[in-house]
A and B are shown apart, each in its own frame.
Chain A
Amino acid sequence: MNLNFTYDVDSEDFTRAGEASADIKKKLKKMNVPHEAVRKVAIAMYEGEINMVIHANGGVITVSVNEDSITMVLADKGPGIPDVEKAMQEGFSTAPDNIRALGFGAGMGLPNMKKYTDEMHIDTEIGVGTTVTMKVNI
């Protein structure tokens, strides 16, 4: 089994943020992927998806599912992350006030992504964009 799904993440439409993650969760459940792996993918992908929307003007997510793992690649053409190590710290956030008013900006997204995946890698270049690759073992 090897399945691939692709999602365009739109930054204009904030009301749809999180829909790609919700859809993947539904699909994985239907494919009888174990509950714990589904939960990890849902948390990690949601955080990544929201980051693309609020920090990077959207992007593209591809998810591949095979027998023993789920790999998510979240690619954006946003501003890039100047200091990845700092961004990975719990509590670090550059979210503006209007975004914080929605409940984001705790600076927990990237730490959550790291915690709930078995592998995570960030490729980023200032002014070019960011690609986050995450893998969850089944």
Chain B
Amino acid sequence: MTLTELISKLDERFTIINLSDDADQRQLSKVFCCDLLSFAMARNPADSVWVTVMGNVNTIGVMSLTDGAAVIIAENAAIDEIAAKKAVEQNIAVIKTALPVFETALTIHELIK
């Protein structure tokens, strides 16, 4: 499933903060959950959907270095302005939701499996 297809299936509980240019070609691999950046750096699979509560600029940095497809900030956690700007600059898809991490991951997993 492509990122564009996933986004078209998301209901109103999800808000798109930024979309990447290649979303319609980006084939999603799997869901990944973690908040510690050094773990995410080493383990986030390419083309993943990464669910975390860390909405700072380093999250965007890790996304860009690990080639993740999209990051979802769960629990209504804050996405700071610098991170939002960096996401646009680096062409990283960012989605936001009030759902907890587990429910978010499960919802995405069911949609892309």
Contact = CB atoms under 8 A, between A and B. Distances in A.
Interface of B is mostly: helix
Nearest to B35: A103
A30 to B, nearest CB: 15
Given A15-B86, A22-B64, A108 B36 contact: yes
Contacts of B56: 102-103
Contact of A116 (B42, B64, B90): B42
Interface residues of B, number: 23
Contact of A115 (B35, B42, B54, B82): B42
Interface residues of A, number: 25
A115 to B, nearest CB: 7
Contacts of B104: none
A96 to B, nearest CB: 15
Contacts of A112: 38, 41-42
A102 B58 contact: yes
B57 interface: yes
Nearest to B65: A42
List the 8 closest A-B pairs by CB distance, nearest first: A18-B61, A108-B38, A106-B36, A103-B37, A103-B54, A42-B65, A106-B38, A15-B82
21 contacts: A14-B57, A17-B57, A18-B57, A18-B58, A21-B65, A22-B64, A22-B65, A39-B66, A39-B67, A46-B41, A46-B61, A46-B65, A47-B38, A102-B37, A102-B54, A103-B35, A103-B36, A103-B40, A103-B52, A108-B38, A108-B42
